[in-house]
Amino acid sequence: MLQNALRQDALTVVQEGYELRIGLPWIRSMPLSSVSGFSVRMDGVSVSDDLHVHLGERTVPAEALADEAGWWFIQDRLVLFIPAGPGDFGPGRHHVAVDFELMVPYLRGGGEGPLVLPLHMEAMLLVRSPGAAEVSRDVA
């Protein structure tokens, strides 16, 4: 499941920074509210301070997904927005690592609560330019 979560076309440079499109590394679609704790590193540098998520025409802070009523469908890509900063990464290939937690509300974890899976994915990604052909839909 993790091998398709960060595809080679996942990283795009945009005017204000970068967009990172990640696939849901699970066997079923999940509520957006089940996703939390995003941490992103590019070339070993944390870029997690001001992560946002594009949801159709809206942009919300990544930590606000807990309040979202929408769904992350298995075929869609969740778009993380990484603002440009002093560590501009430029063109070429970059090592990208993403960590987050996925709460699976219909499975029990240890104790009384639902199962919470810590997920980690990483890949060497080539920065794409805006408007490059997409083969998947973004979460709306």
pLDDT in tens, 27-72: 999 999 999 999 999 999 888 888 999 999 999 999 999 999 999 9
Count, residues in the chain: 140
| Angle CA 94–90–4, to nearest 5 | 35
Q: Please answer whether residues 92 and 126 qualify as being in contact, where contact means their C-beta atoms are separated by less than 8 angstroms.
A: yes
Q: Which residues make beta-bridge pairs with 36?
A: 101
Q: Checking DSSP bridges between strand 17-23 and strand 76-83, what pairing results, if any? A: antiparallel
Q: Which residues make beta-bridge pairs with 46?
A: 41
- Name the token pair of 11: 């990283």
Q: Where are the domains of the chain?
A: 2-130
Radius of gyration of the chain (CA): 15
Please tell me the pTM assigned to this model.
0.88
pLDDT at 90 over 90: no
Instruction: Give the pLDDT confidence of 91-134 residue by residue, as tens digits.
Output: 789 999 999 999 998 888 777 889 899 999 999 999 887 765 46
Q: Please answer whether residues 36 and 103 qualify as being in contact, where contact means their C-beta atoms are separated by less than 8 angstroms.
A: yes
Which residue do the tokens 């967009």 mark? 19
CATH level 3 topology of 2-130 = Immunoglobulin-like (2.60.40)
